[in-house]
Amino acid sequence: MKKIIETLKNCWKIEDLRQRLLITILFTAIYRFGSFVVLPGINPSLLEKLQSQTAGGLMSLLDMFSGGAFSHASIFALGIMPYISASIVMQLLAVTVPYFQKMQREGESGHKKINWYTRALTVFILIFQAPSYLLNLKAQSAGALATGISWTAFMIPAAIILAAGSMFILWLGERITDKGIGNGISLIIMIGIIARLPQAFFQEVSSRFTAITSGGLVMFIIEIVILYAVVCASILLVQGTRKIPVQYAKRVVGNKQYGGARQYIPLKLFAANVMPIIFAQALMFIPLAIVQYSTDNASPVLQSLMNTKSLLYNAVYVILVIAFTYFYTAITLNPTQIAEDIKRNNGFIPGVKPGKDTADYIDTVMSRITLPGSLFIAFIAIMPALAGLLSVQDAFGQFFGGTSLLILVGVVIDTIQQIESHLMMRHYDGLLSSGHTRRENPSAY
């Protein structure tokens, strides 16, 4: 505690860091305030069915990412997820479509064009997602609309408000990135997830001490120990790397000698990040969201697939996560390009011939380290279902794994790195007493 207090004092002493922290707190506070502003014309006390719908499944995930705004019909109900969906699509296009590949290689101008396309695609997604949300709101809580207002007249301005709210969140995230501590989009997502933690925690405590068969204090302690172990393992996964040594040849230019030093290429154990879980969830939930309207006539197999705690559902889920981990790693890390860059800079891997042999060697190493990473990501993905076997409440069980845990771990580590970089520049101690975190770790998104 003394170390934390001393670090906070050091942060306050640095004017630039102090301003960035205050700006970050201000913009996140604006985001949380907007999450409680209900759409004009909606009575928030009549949204019980909408809130019960978001208690589990895909809707629960969307509500978690929006910090509860989805279930409360807030102006920020759609959250930042439309932009995340657009970013995923653009990432795939940038590695599969030659036009976008060329654009990505154009440097800063190319990145600006890609960002423009991402925003345009976000607006396109919102054109469909905002009316869809309102139609679902009408189906679940038609009586929540104020008397004297027709749904036809309500939906057009409400859709515009929802779309504008989502784009405003994107603007807040970009301002946090530019003027705040950095990684604004990731922080927005993290704040939305953390916002549900206190309520979920107290619900879990209450259920353990009120239910006769829940196990009481002993089971709650076991839960916390398991959660702590999973968080520690996730931190190790996020920071895990395999370093490949690269020897650079000596070359003389005039009277100066260049090269000759050995450097290392860090290949991340967690290169795919949370994308495999997101892709797998999209395949598992979106088709089933269509089938669930006919659950009475659905076959036992479909009913099992629609149950997120069933053995069949989780088995298919694990297979998809592992497959997408290899797929996303393959499209984001190009061994041939890495080998060409090494050769272009007069470097080589000791014991490996430059060119194709180097590319094959890097590909082999990536395949070997991707396997344990994919297995652990798959384990994290089904942890909420495993937590359900211990009678953990669904809301609290979501913090045991899935995208929520990996995003929280990734963003917290990256935020610590950002703060430590400012402290180190002014020769202050960092936040960690055992050394500084490594800078090669990316943010969650």
- 266, 241 Cβ separation under 8 angstroms: yes
Give me the pLDDT at residue 293, please.
45
> How far is Cα 104 from Cα 91, in angstroms, rounded to an integer?
10
In this structure, which amino acid lies at residue 32? R
What b/e string do you get for 177-211 counting C-beta neighbours within 10 Å, with b at 16 or more?
beebbbbbbbbbbbbbbebbbeebeeebeeebeee
Task: From 115, 159, 120, select the one nearest 137 (Cα to Cα).
Answer: 159
**pTM > 0.85: yes or no:** no
- Helix, strand, coil shares of the chain as percentages rounded to 5? 70, 5, 25
In this structure, which amino acid lies at residue 203? Q
Give me the pLDDT at residue 159, please.
93
Domains of the chain: 1-195 (1.10.3370.10), 203-400 (1.10.3370.10)
pLDDT digits (tens, 9 = 90+) for 361-408: 888 888 888 888 888 888 888 888 888 777 777 777 777 776 777 778
> How far is Cα 145 from Cα 39, in angstroms, rounded to an integer?
10
> How far is Cα 338 from Cα 317, in angstroms, rounded to an integer?
32
DSSP code of 273? T
Residues 6+ positions from 368 with CB-CB distance below 8 Å: none
Residues 6+ positions from 5 with CB-CB distance below 8 Å: none
pLDDT digits (tens, 9 = 90+) for 229-242: 888 887 777 777 77
pLDDT digits (tens, 9 = 90+) for 154-203: 989 999 999 999 999 999 999 998 888 878 888 888 888 888 888 888 88
Q: List, as one string, the DSSP characters of 47-92.
A: -HHHHHHTTSHHHHHHHHHTTTTTTTTBTTTTTTHHHHHHHHHHHH
pLDDT at 210 over 70: yes
